[in-house]
Amino acid sequence: MLTTYDCDVLVVGGGIVGLSTAYALTRAAPGTRVVVLEKESGPAHHQTGRNSGVIHSGIYYRPGSLKARFAVRGAAEMVAFCAEYGLPYEVTGKLIVATAHAELPRLHALVQRGRANGIPVRELGRAQMAEYEPAVRGIGAIHVGTTGVCDFGAVAGQLARLAEDAGASVRYGAEVRAVGRRASAVAVRTSRGEVLRARALVNCAGLHSDRVARLAGDTPGMRIVPFRGEYFELAPDRAELVRGLVYPVPDPAFPFLGVHLTRGIDGTVHVGPNAVPALAREGYGWGVVRPGDLAGTVAFPGTWRMARRHWRYGAGEVRRSLSKGSFTEAVRRLLPEVRADDLIPAPSGVRAQAVLRDGTLVDDFLFAESPRMVHVLNAPSPAATASLPIGREVARRVLAGLA
């Protein structure tokens, strides 16, 4: 019997990764019928619309890793994409600043890593650092030339328009609730009661990617543990304290970069994000608790193994989240003039961080394939920067499965 398909490829998730995948499919194989299903009323409601907006250079990532390859290429492509479509962006460069002697070896290691990844990096003395950022204090710094800022929500919207112009359909308010697979097709049922059949499915569900993989009958071998990142912004009359982007030296035990100072494309200076456990996958404040999400996180053995390993760091982050005084104190290491009154609460974001059963925080991007499906299981920062190469990679995998 001939199977009838509603489309060739179903993409679950209208964040920047899903929309970039849809766009790449229409470019790599024109005529492929693509449908994107997004549960919210528009694109980029979650990670893509709630981040630092930084086009990362790729300096932090292990040479040869997917993050390094895709971020370096993706940063250049993101700048070109924004320029081509008239989206706001700026290549500002950034400083990474050591505030303690113990951080200097790690700062030097970053210089080596950046050069290995082909990134322009300059070591700065205190006087040179002050020329860039007079109000920032540190004992050593490096300048990375290719870092920039943009609006990833606007990029996602543009990708949706380009995919639609090429024949794709992007449907909002369509949550995928069930997934079935036969030898010749996949089928999904949405919250609107629609059933759609396709030749293949791509899972770009971000904070829900492990759930969608399980709905499809696959065993992803990881779990998304949501980590909220909280931000403040500098009061307008204090925004001149920060001219560009200023980052601390990251702790290599964590995939998070530490609280940084970011002058965005609208001139607002954001201070953050920290990294605290979220009590719901879309838990944008301590008051948002979803017992189902929480029970799943607590029942997962990897959560406890991770907590045992990192409790000291985690406790510090929670303290700084609950006490503005502690948060301000931490920021003052980089920016001594800042006072608690200068910091105005700003919207937070939640990172979809994959954790393995043994408690390992997955560092690199992670994809998994099964018949007729490609799952994007770990796409945290810098996946927005790297979204164009990631989309092409996912499109390549799904088209190879259909050939």
Residue 351 found at the interface with ligand FAD (CB under 6 A) = yes
239 SS3 class: helix
- Number of residues in contact with ligand FAD, rule: CB under 6 A? 42
Residue 207 touches ligand FAD, criterion: CB under 6 A: yes
- State the minimum distance, in angstroms, from the CB of residue 34 to ligand FAD: 15
CB distance 13 to 112 below 8 Å? no
Cβ neighbours for 144, distance < 8 A, ≥ 6 positions apart: 57, 59, 93, 94, 95, 96, 114, 119, 120, 121
Dihedral of alpha carbons 314, 319, 324, 330, sign? negative
Least distance in Å: CB of 387 to ligand FAD? Answer: 7
> Residue 58 or 302: which CB sits closer to ligand FAD?
58
Among 11, 22, 25, 51, binds ligand FAD (CB under 6 A): 51
The only residue of 7, 10, 18, 142 in contact with ligand FAD, by rule CB under 6 A = 18
Per CB under 6 A, 248 contacts ligand FAD: no
What percentage of the chain's residues is helix, strand, coil (to nearest 5)?
35, 25, 35
Told to check if 389 binds ligand FAD by CB under 6 A, we report no
Single residue of 7, 9, 11, 16 touching ligand FAD by CB under 6 A:
16
Instruction: Choose which of 48, 92, 117, 303 interacts with ligand FAD (CB under 6 A).
Output: 48
| Residue 11 sits in the site that holds ligand FAD (CB under 6 A) | no
- According to DSSP, residue 188 is labeled E
* Least CB distance to ligand FAD at residue 142 (A): 18
Using CB under 6 A as the binding rule, whether residue 90 contacts ligand FAD is answered as no
Token look-up 């390549």 returns 396
224 binds ligand FAD (CB under 6 A): no
Determine if 57 is a binding residue for ligand FAD (CB under 6 A).
Answer: no
Among 9, 11, 15, 198, binds ligand FAD (CB under 6 A): 15
In the complex with ligand FAD, the residue whose CB is nearer, 273 or 302, is 273
Beta bridge pairs of residue 97: 141, 248
Q: What is the spatial distance between Cα 22 and Cα 162, in angstroms, rounded to a whole number?
A: 9
274 binding ligand FAD? (CB under 6 A): no
* For ligand FAD, the closer CB: 40 or 364: 40
- Whichever of 54 and 154 has its CB closer to ligand FAD, that residue is 54
Q: How far is the CB of 188 from ligand FAD (least distance, A)?
A: 8
Q: Does 384 bind ligand FAD (CB under 6 A)?
A: yes
Please pick, from the candidates 154, 350, 366, 374, the single residue that binds ligand FAD as defined by CB under 6 A.
Answer: 350
Contact 263, 318 (CB under 8 A): no
Alpha helices in 42-198 (DSSP H): 66-85, 104-116, 126-132, 152-165
Q: Cα separation of 105 and 93, whole Å? A: 22
Q: Which of residues 156-185 bind ligand FAD (CB under 6 A)?
A: 175-176
Under the binding rule (CB under 6 A), the answer on residue 380 touching ligand FAD is yes
- Residue 286 burial class via C-beta count within 10 angstroms: exposed 0-12, middle 13-18, buried 19 and up: middle
Does residue number 204 form part of the binding site for ligand FAD (CB under 6 A)? yes
Residues paired with residue 149 on neighbouring β-strands, in sequence order: 54, 90
Residue 330 lies near ligand FAD (rule: CB under 6 A): no
**Both tokens assigned to 2:** 């001939």
In three-state secondary structure terms, 377 is strand
As a whole number of Å, the CA-based R_g of the chain is 21
d(CA 241, CA 269): 9
